[in-house]
Structure 1
Amino acid sequence: MDIIKVGICGTVESSDITVIIEPNPNKGIEIELDSSVEIQFGEQIREVITSTLLELNIENARVVANDKGALDCVIKARVQAAAYRAAGSVDYKW
């Protein structure tokens, strides 16, 4: 799946995450993470974001994530929704 525009999903509520995905002109996956639990879980959050993108066959994307303590399942769902929006796709493979 190719990222062609900006896709956004999520809120800034407690236990949620806002995910913004946009095309990455530098190629590869770049993640900018701001998290209230980054010291404890930053590596895991980045892993969930990266693995979710790779499951969707996305190899080039810039991700900005503002986490407020979201569980892995919430992170994955937000990344999926933002990715489909950023790809302009309605061919959902949940």
Structure 2
Amino acid sequence: MKIVKEALAGTVESSDLLVKIAPASDLTVIINSEVIKQFGDQIRSVVDETLSALAVTDGLLIIEDKGALDCVIRARVQSAVLRAAQAEEINWETLR
């Protein structure tokens, strides 16, 4: 998917995260988290898997995590990407 505009998904409430996405020439993911030392690798893994499933190859993602579970991370990243790509047709099989 091609990122064509800026978009947001999520909140900065406890157990949630805020995903900010914007167009860029390459793929850059910045993760800020209260639990980065304990779960940083897992958060990065879920984000990378989700972006790969959606075929995102470029864009700037800034993630402000407040202890979100994997399913929440996946849902917020998917929502932000779909909004930023202005997706009109969604391949539901790539989302889980």
Q: TM-score, normalised by structure 1?
A: 0.92
Partner of 2:20: 20
Alignment of 1:1-94 (within 5 A): 1-25=1-25, 27=26, 29-92=27-90, 93=92, 94=95
SS at match of 1:24: coil
Unaligned runs of 5+ in 1: none
* Alpha-carbon distance between aligned partners in 2 of 1:30 and 1:49, rounded to the nearest angstrom: 11
Aligned residues: 92
- Aligned-pair CA distance for 1:76: 0.2
* Alpha-carbon distance between aligned partners in 1 of 2:59 and 2:45, rounded to the nearest angstrom: 14
* Alpha-carbon distance between aligned partners in 2 of 1:53 and 1:7, rounded to the nearest angstrom: 15
- Aligned-pair CA distance for 1:46: 1.1
Unaligned runs of 5+ in 2: none
The ranges of structure 1 where at least 4 consecutive aligned residues each deviate by more than 3 angstroms after the TM superposition are none
* Alpha-carbon distance between aligned partners in 2 of 1:3 and 1:57, rounded to the nearest angstrom: 11
**CA-based RMSD:** 1.0
- Aligned-pair CA distance for 1:63: 0.7
